[in-house]
Amino acid sequence: MTTQTTDLLNALGVPSSAYTGGTLKVRSPIDGATIGVVHEASAEDMRAAVERGHAAFLQWRNVPAPKRGELVRLFGEELRKHKADLARLVSLEAGKVSSEGEGEVQEMIDICDFAVGLSRQLHGLTIASERPGHRMMEQYLPLGVVGIISAFNFPVAVWAWNSALALVCGDTCIWKPSEKTPLTALATQALFERAVARYEGAPAHLSQLLNGDAAVGEAMVDHPKVALVSATGSTRMGRAVGPRVAARFGRCLLELGGNNAIIVTPSADMDLAVRGILFGAYGTAGQRCTTTRRVIAHESIHDELVARLDKARAQLKIGNPMEAGNLIGPLIDKGSFDAMQAALAAAREQGGQVSGGERALAEQHPDAFYAVPALVRMPAQTEIVKHETFAPILYTLKYKTLDEAIALQNEVPQGLSSAIFTNDIREAETFVSASGSDCGIANVNIGTSGAEIGGAFGGEKETGGGRESGSDAWKAYMRRTTNTVNYSRELPLAQGVKFDI
C-alpha cells in the first residue's frame, strides 16, 4: 500500500481499519499498485441501513429546509478545506489528471452552494380554484430514502449532485459507489461526518455509505423503503436497475450511457472546434459519459479538420496523471483497454481507418493500461459507431446537408450530449430546435463534456431520461402534493356535480 494514499486518507479522516484487512482490493490505475483492501457490506447490512436511513428521514423531514441547507453549507466548507487532498485521491483511484481531479471536487463545492440557495426556494404553486371560497396549492415535500449508485469515472461529484439536493429536500441518502472507487467514497463520507459533527441536532444516519458488490446494490434497489434510486453508469446497469425499481413502483433517476457527437459546419471557427473536440474526445481518457465519440463534419472541411485533429491527437502527452504536463491518464483497468481494442478491431472490419489506439507505457507500467488516443475515419455510421465504448476513440464522419448531419447525430440509441460548431445562426438555432438534436444537452460552439452544475444534467433514449444537478432537477427528490382548501361555509362540488340529500 503506498504511503501517499495512506497519508491522504489520514488527512481526510478515514481510519486505516476502513481500508485494510477487508475483501475488496483497490488498485490505482496509474501503476496497478494495490492501494487499499476495503471492507464490504452484505445485502443484509444494506437492508439494515435502509431501515436506519428511514428512521433518520422521519426526523429530518421536519427540520426546516433552510436549516437543512446549513448542513450542506458546512459540508461545502469541509470540501473547500480538503479540496487538494480529495482531488489527489480522485487522481490516484480513478486516474484523472490533476486539474480534472480538482475540477471534480469543485463540482461538489458548486453543487453544495447551489443546494444551500435552493434550500430557501423549494417552492410550489398557487392555482386558481373553480370553486368560490377555495384555494388550490401545490407543495413539494420530502420524499424518503434516496439510494445513490455511482460510477468510477466521477467517483464523488455525481454522488454530491444527488446527495446535496436530496439532503436539502429533506431526504436521507444511502450510497453504493463503484467497486473500483471505494476509497474516494470513504474519504467523502468522512468529510460529510465532519460536517455533521459541527451541526447541532442532526439525526444519525443522514447519509450512509456501503461498499460492496452487486448483491448489495440489488438489496438497495429492491427495498420498498428506498423511495428513489438514482443510478449513474452503463446502459446495461440501467436495464438491470430500472425494471426492478419499476416492479415495486419506486422512482428511478437514470443517467446512463452517451454517444455524443459534434457537428462541424463550413462556417465554424476551426481553431475553436479543434480545441473543443480534443478535450471532449480525449479528456479523462475518453471516460466521461459526455465524452465526444463522434465528429460529423461537412464534406468541404472534413479532411482539413480531421487532419488537424489527428495531428493534435498524436501530440497529447500520455502519462502519470499526477505529473504536470500529462493530459491523458490511464484507462481504469485491463477490461477497459480490452474493450477499446475490440472496438477498434470492429471499426477496422467495418471499413474504418484507425490512427493510434495502441497501448502506451507498457514497459514502465506493466500493470497499468495507458492507451494512445484513437481517431477512426469511418466510411459510414456502422454498428460499432452506434455503440458506447468507454475509451478514447473518436469516429469521424462526413455530411452534405445539415438535415443529414442531424439525422446522423440522432441515429444512435443514446441521447445524452451533443454540440454544433457553427457561426451561422440558422444552423445553430436549427440544431437546438424541436427538429434538431434529440439529446438532453445540445451546445453551440462548446464541446459535449464539462457541463456546469447549474443546468439539468441527463439525457433521453438509452441515457435513461433522468435529470440531475441544477435547474429544477430537485423536484425528482420530493413528492408533490396538491391541496385544495375550502375556507367558505359551503361545500360546492367540482364540475358542478350535485349530491344533496
Cβ of residue 439: shortest distance to ligand UN1, in angstroms? Answer: 12
What does the alpha-carbon distance between residue 256 and residue 160 come to, in Å, rounded to a whole number? 17
Smallest separation (angstroms) from ligand UN1 to the CB of 417: 7
Distance CA 256, CA 415 (A): 9
Instruction: Report helix, strand or coil for 75.
Output: helix
Name 404's Cβ contacts closer than 8 Å, sequence gap at least 6: none
Strands 226-232 and 145-149: parallel
Least distance from ligand UN1 to the Cβ atom of residue 289, Å: 4
Residues 93-132, one symbol each (x = binds ligand UN1 by CB under 6 A, - = not), give --------------x-------------------------
Between 345 and 446, name the residue whose CB sits nearer to ligand UN1.
446
Q: Is 255 a catalytic residue?
A: yes
How far apart, in whole angstroms, are the C-alpha atoms of residue 263 and residue 294?
Answer: 9
Closest residue to bound ligand UN1 by CB: 451
**Of the candidates 49, 71, 94, 158, which one interacts with ligand UN1 according to CB under 6 A?**
158
Q: Is 279 in the site for ligand UN1 (CB under 6 A)?
A: no
Considering only 8-16, 287-295, 315-323, 349-357, which stretch makes contact with ligand UN1 by CB under 6 A?
287-295
Rounded CA separation 211/6 (Å): 19
CB atoms within 10 A of CB 290: 24
Q: Which range of residues in 27-35, 42-50, 378-386, 443-451 is near ligand UN1 by CB under 6 A? A: 443-451
Q: Where are the beta strands (DSSP E) in 353-400?
A: 353-355, 359-360, 370-371, 374-377, 393-399
Residue 419 interacting with ligand UN1 (CB under 6 A):
no
How far apart are the C-alpha atoms of 62 and 172, rounded to whole Å? Answer: 12
SS3 at position 177: coil
The torsion angle over the Cα atoms of residues 321, 323, 327 and 333, rounded to 10 degrees, is -20
Q: Which stretch binds ligand UN1 (CB under 6 A): 86-94, 238-246, 323-331, 448-456?
A: 448-456
Closest CB to ligand UN1 among residues 156, 384: 156
Catalytic-labelled residue, pool 255, 427, 462, 468: 255
Cα 191 from Cα 163, distance rounded (Å):
13
Minimum Å distance from CB 447 to ligand UN1?
9
Name residues contacting ligand UN1, limited to 290-349 (CB under 6 A).
Answer: 290
For the window 225-244, what string marks contact with ligand UN1 as x by the rule CB under 6 A?
-------x------------
Query: How far from chain centre, in Å, is Cα 376?
Result: 26
Q: How far is CA 146 from the centre of its chain?
A: 16
Residue 51 CB coordination number (10 Å): 13
Q: In angstroms, what is the minimal distance from the CB of 381 to ligand UN1?
A: 23
Residue 153 binds ligand UN1 (CB under 6 A) = yes
Residue among 24 and 446 whose Cβ is closer to ligand UN1:
446
Name the site residues for ligand UN1 (rule: CB under 6 A).
107, 153-154, 158, 232, 288-290, 449-451
As annotated, the active-site residues are 255
